[in-house]
Chains A and B, each alone.
Chain A
């Protein structure tokens, strides 16, 4: 994605003058900025609005009383936040333990029905999860996993494996095969070549897949509702209950808590997801 500035040397020779193309450019970019940041600003305003109703463009009163309510010992936001982060971390560990060997095999070894196996990992994303989660909840109830953190983690792992496996596969196929063969030819075992050559080179892609799985777990609502609630409180459940009860302030504050990790990851993701890996996703 190099810039094209070098291909238009003509502009360099002209005297500096106003570039009229900034008119449509500025209009389009400004509109895009409004579409993206308008809703986010609106959300932030709701978190500090004490009173706000139609037709007033801005809140009538500002304050932090709802923040106090959310973070009071009786509000369960802190517990939900801790649970959500804990579940997401466990989900990443389990999902990567499953996805790294699978991704390596799909990228490097000849597998029968490879396309079909890749599609199999898409299935959890391809079916409206609701009736499936109801059946899982029934199954987990028999195993004593319903309403427990391991139960929720297993549901999230299943849901996140598509990202983990697809991106891990792309990350391993982006690693130059010859480097691995060179290591083998100077006497490294297959496992050693994998550990010392392939794995470190694929690490940024695997990190990206971990990020996707983490965010999928934070995002996950339907499975947490059927398997976790009401014993395991997670942030999305808190947000949904507050929103359904018409309490926009509490819902917006919870939404803001979920936004922070998402935006933090967005700002660093390009460091992990390089173009050569991206172009191989799903191949």
Chain B
């Protein structure tokens, strides 16, 4: 048996599962997006853009902003774990940063809903430190709450991937640059980050698509307008049983994530070339 055939046979059961249980229903929902009262047309998209164009923009901005912050936080954490010169501080950071890693999104939503509320612990601490007065406190349960929830949950995940990749780098170049007097920040930006770029991009792409699919966080932290596409889809289905517009919104967010996955594919092809 040829190796190619054997490989395909081994991959087949997993691929078949994805195909039957995801790609087929996905295709059904793509077809459904163009279905208006038994005929095909763009009516669902007209309606989706008329009602939700603000939410679509809001989603793209929120998820992109969160991805950018996640990337910066992950590089900072991974960089300090790799280049930090104080072993105690490195050990504390390594113990500290991973706590939110496996906390389910629905729990993150509940945890941050209590923390960021007007009477949450964040405002209470700011008041007791004298930074705010009780009258100045505001609830953070709006777009800021969603960004904070996403970064809180996803930054440790990307930091774990990135610091793993940084740890397996050849230390010779880093030591050489250090001996030549380069600052640690410069070593991080010019030597370390370029070498872990693939892992960083994989982590950020995974985070991006995860954030595009999360329903619980927008529902629990900010369900009022403007909100994220996922919350709109749930609303369309629960309130109106409107599969057409729900599927159209689903297709729009597929196009957004597909463009991000394409960046990954291009990067992957280039680094293999």
Query: Does the CB pair B23–A109 fall under 8 Å?
Result: no
Query: Does the CB pair B250–A102 fall under 8 Å?
Result: no
Instruction: Name the distance in Å between A107's Cβ and chain B's nearest Cβ.
Output: 10
Partner of A239, one of B10, B101, B110, B124: B110
Instruction: Name the distance in Å between B248's Cβ and chain A's nearest Cβ.
Output: 9
Query: Does the CB pair A131–B233 fall under 8 Å?
Result: yes
Query: Does the CB pair B220–A134 fall under 8 Å?
Result: no
Residues of A within 8 A of B81 (CB): 1
Are A122 and B14 also in contact (CB < 8 A) when A46-B114, A282-B198 are? no
Q: Which of A68-76, A175-183, A196-204, A260-268 contacts the other chain?
A: A260-268
Instruction: Name the distance in Å between A202's Cβ and chain B's nearest Cβ.
Output: 14
Bound-state CA distance A123–B4 (Å) is: 24
Query: Does the CB pair A278–B160 fall under 8 Å?
Result: yes
Query: Does the CB pair B168–A132 fall under 8 Å?
Result: no
Bound-state CA distance A39–B96 (Å) is: 14
Query: Does the CB pair B29–A266 fall under 8 Å?
Result: no
Query: Does the CB pair A111–B96 fall under 8 Å?
Result: no
Query: Does the CB pair A279–B165 fall under 8 Å?
Result: yes
Are A126 and B257 also in contact (CB < 8 A) when A222-B215, A252-B110 are? yes
Residues of B within 8 A of A98 (CB): 13-14, 17
Q: Kindly state whether residue B58 has any CB partner on chain A within 8 Å.
A: no
Instruction: Name the distance in Å between A19's Cβ and chain B's nearest Cβ.
Output: 8
Q: Kindly state whether residue B182 has any CB partner on chain A within 8 Å.
A: no
Bound-state CA distance A3–B96 (Å) is: 17
Query: Does the CB pair B261–A119 fall under 8 Å?
Result: yes
Query: Does the CB pair B14–A259 fall under 8 Å?
Result: no
The residue in chain A whose Cβ has the minimal distance to the Cβ of B78 is: A1
Query: Does the CB pair B107–A239 fall under 8 Å?
Result: yes
Partner of B102, one of A117, A132, A266: A266
Residues of B within 8 A of A251 (CB): 110
Q: Interface digits, B80-99 against A, CB 8 Å rule (1 contact, 0 not)?
A: 01111111011011101111
Residues of A within 8 A of B7 (CB): 105-106, 109-111
Residues of B within 8 A of A53 (CB): 119
Partner of A110, one of B3, B164, B216: B3
Partner of A125, one of B15, B213, B216: B213
Residues of B within 8 A of A126 (CB): 209, 212-213, 254, 257-258, 261
Q: Interface digits, A140-159 against B, CB 8 Å rule (1 contact, 0 not)?
A: 00000000000000110110
Query: Does the CB pair A283–B114 fall under 8 Å?
Result: no
Bound-state CA distance A190–B144 (Å) is: 55
Q: Kindly state whether residue B69 has any CB partner on chain A within 8 Å.
A: no
Q: How large is the interface on A (under 10, 10 to 19, 20 to 34, 35 or more residues)?
A: 35 or more
Identify which of residues 15-69 in chain A touch chain B, using a CB-to-CB cut-off of 8 Å. 19, 21, 25, 29, 32-43, 45-46, 52-57
The residue in chain A whose Cβ has the minimal distance to the Cβ of B247 is: A131
Residues of B within 8 A of A57 (CB): 119, 124, 127-128
Bound-state CA distance A155–B18 (Å) is: 10
Q: Kindly state whether residue B8 has any CB partner on chain A within 8 Å.
A: yes
The residue in chain A whose Cβ has the minimal distance to the Cβ of B234 is: A130
Residues of A within 8 A of B93 (CB): 29, 32
The residue in chain A whose Cβ has the minimal distance to the Cβ of B241 is: A134
Residues of B within 8 A of A218 (CB): 104
Residues of A within 8 A of B166 (CB): 1
Q: Kindly state whether residue B202 has any CB partner on chain A within 8 Å.
A: yes
Which 6 pairs across A and B sit closest by C-beta, in order of nearness? Answer: A278-B164, A109-B7, A219-B104, A135-B25, A282-B202, A39-B115
Q: Which residues of B are interface residues toward A (Cβ below 8 A)?
A: 3-4, 6-8, 10-11, 13-15, 17-18, 21-26, 28-29, 32, 81-87, 89-90, 92-94, 96-107, 109-115, 118-122, 124-125, 127-128, 134, 152, 160-161, 163-168, 175, 178, 196, 198-199, 202, 206, 209-210, 212-213, 215-216, 219-220, 229-230, 233-234, 237, 243, 246-247, 249-250, 253-254, 257-258, 261, 264-265, 268-269
Q: Which residues of A are interface residues toward B (Cβ below 8 A)?
A: 1, 3-5, 7-8, 19, 21, 25, 29, 32-43, 45-46, 52-57, 98-99, 101-102, 104-106, 109-112, 115, 117, 119-136, 139, 154-155, 157-158, 161, 165, 211, 215, 218-219, 221-222, 236, 239-240, 243, 248, 251-252, 255, 258-259, 262-263, 265-266, 269, 273, 275-279, 281-283
- 19 A-B interface contacts by CB (under 8 A): A3-B90, A19-B86, A32-B97, A39-B115, A98-B17, A105-B11, A110-B7, A121-B18, A123-B18, A128-B212, A129-B213, A132-B25, A139-B24, A158-B18, A219-B106, A258-B103, A262-B103, A273-B160, A275-B168
Taking A41-B121, A54-B119, A110-B3 as given, write out 6 further A-B residue pairs in contact, using a Cβ cutoff of 8 Å, ordered by the A residue number: A7-B178, A57-B127, A120-B15, A273-B160, A275-B165, A279-B199
